[in-house]
Amino acid sequence: MAHNFDVIIIGGGILGTSISYFLSHLNKSKKIAVIEQEHNVAFHTSGRNTGKVHAPYLYNPEKKKLFAKAAFHGYEMWEEYSKLRNLPFKKDGVIEVALDKKGNSVLEKYLKWGKQNGLEDKDIKLMDSAELKKIEPEIKCESALYVYKDGSTDYSIFTDSVMKDSESSGTKFILDTKVTKIKKENGKWKITLDDQHEVFAKFLINAAGGEAINIAHDVGIAEKLTDVHFRGEYWKAPKEYHNLTKTSVYSVPEFPDYPFLDPHWIIRVDGSCEIGPNAVPVFSPYGYNKTENIKEFIPKMLEMLGSGARKAIFDKQFQELAINEIQSSMSKSAMIDRVKRFLPKIDADKITEKGTAGIRSSVIDEDGK
């Protein structure tokens, strides 16, 4: 294995792999490496999600202009790449439903944001329940925002394809290898792998997902930031429900500050359907099971209490939400009932198989935001 690189990227998720792709194509003379601790790319969050490619209707154009721009161009990029590499991609849209009068104004806001972020009339439409009923008779709601420019894919397959394209341009992927130490020496980054080997790079890119904050802290960056982790769980719907709707259905978040709550009705790119995800607080980016969470409970709590996260965990609304999410993890009906509000035909007794859980990590600043 070569020991000297121009750029080393830590993390083989969709972000780290895509960065390697662009860098390797911009300058093929540069030596680039991606270090991934798992045996394949997209092993964690990048391969454990809803598989949706969202249009930028959820982003405030004033506060999240960059995210909105990335979503707008990212959608077109992934659609084009899917055609180029014959990868699974469906422009199947998504419906966001309001379940009460208060939600109507939220959908109006999303419509405004979507158009400010580049969506056209043909891409997004606000409709009342009667109009939606003609298209999706099983959905119960006050109103709905139909986003036609929204897609479904499998990010695991996409990431694997991007990795192969990046490799063809010279990028080296070092899999099954954990970064155990990082140090700056003589103007270069010295990175220790598995406590045994050392590699060097002029530039280091941190795309480590749930480990990104820990790595940043190791090199003295973003020390006032911390992270919290949420496990998103899914239930697989039986085949008799696969034609219940034509597209995925989301509901207006009950708590706008926590839009990642409220499970969705998801139609995946292969046609299968799932309910999820919820957002169960866990204590590790690998907190898929009790053993890992018990092991990390004390160190993570001490870290959170010594950072801005303490403001979040002592917030009454956050505590209420955490209890609700834990309940949804312990009780299948508690989770499925939240989707029955807009798809009343679903019978929880017919849903017996769990889907693949994923963990998302949110960064919190010193003010607890």
The ranges of the chain annotated as CATH 3.30.9.10 are 52-154+231-281+334-358
Q: In sequence order, what are the beta bridge partners of 326?
A: none
Q: For residue 238, is the peptide bond before it cis, meaning its omega torsion is within 30 degrees of 0?
A: no
pLDDT of residue 161: 98
The answer to whether residues 235 and 356 touch, using CB atoms and an 8 Å cutoff, is no
pLDDT of residue 315: 84
**DSSP at 208:** -
Tell me which H or E stretch contains 267: strand 264-267
Burial pattern 8-25, b for ≥16 Cβ within 10 A else e, equals: bbbbbbbbbbbbbbebbe
pLDDT of residue 257: 65
| Short-list 134, 138, 163, 194, CA closest to 33 | 163
Q: Tokens at residue 309, please?
A: 């996260």
pLDDT tens across 232-270, in order? Answer: 999 999 999 999 999 999 999 877 666 666 789 999 999
In this structure, which topology does domain 52-154+231-281+334-358 adopt according to CATH?
Answer: D-Amino Acid Oxidase; Chain A, domain 2 (3.30.9)
Burial pattern 68-77, b for ≥16 Cβ within 10 A else e, equals: beebbebbee
pLDDT of residue 99: 95
pLDDT of residue 179: 97
| Short-list 283, 249, 252, CA closest to 359 | 283
Q: For 4-47+156-223, which CATH class?
A: alpha beta
pLDDT of residue 2: 59
Tell me which H or E stretch contains 358: strand 358-364
pLDDT of residue 247: 97
3-state secondary structure of 226: strand
The answer to whether residues 228 and 234 touch, using CB atoms and an 8 Å cutoff, is no
Query: Taking the model in full, what pTM does it have?
Result: 0.93
The answer to whether residues 161 and 86 touch, using CB atoms and an 8 Å cutoff, is no
* Helix ranges restricted to H, the chain: 14-26, 65-85, 101-116, 129-135, 155-168, 212-218, 290-305, 309-313, 316-330, 332-340
pLDDT of residue 71: 95
The ranges of the chain annotated as CATH 3.50.50.60 are 4-47+156-223
Kindly give, in sequence order, each residue whose CB lies less than 8 Å from that of residue 58, ignoring residues fewer than 6 positions away.
110, 113, 259
Q: State the Cα–Cα distance between residues 47 and 50, nearest whole angstrom.
A: 9
Low-confidence residues of the chain: pLDDT under 70? 1-2, 256-261
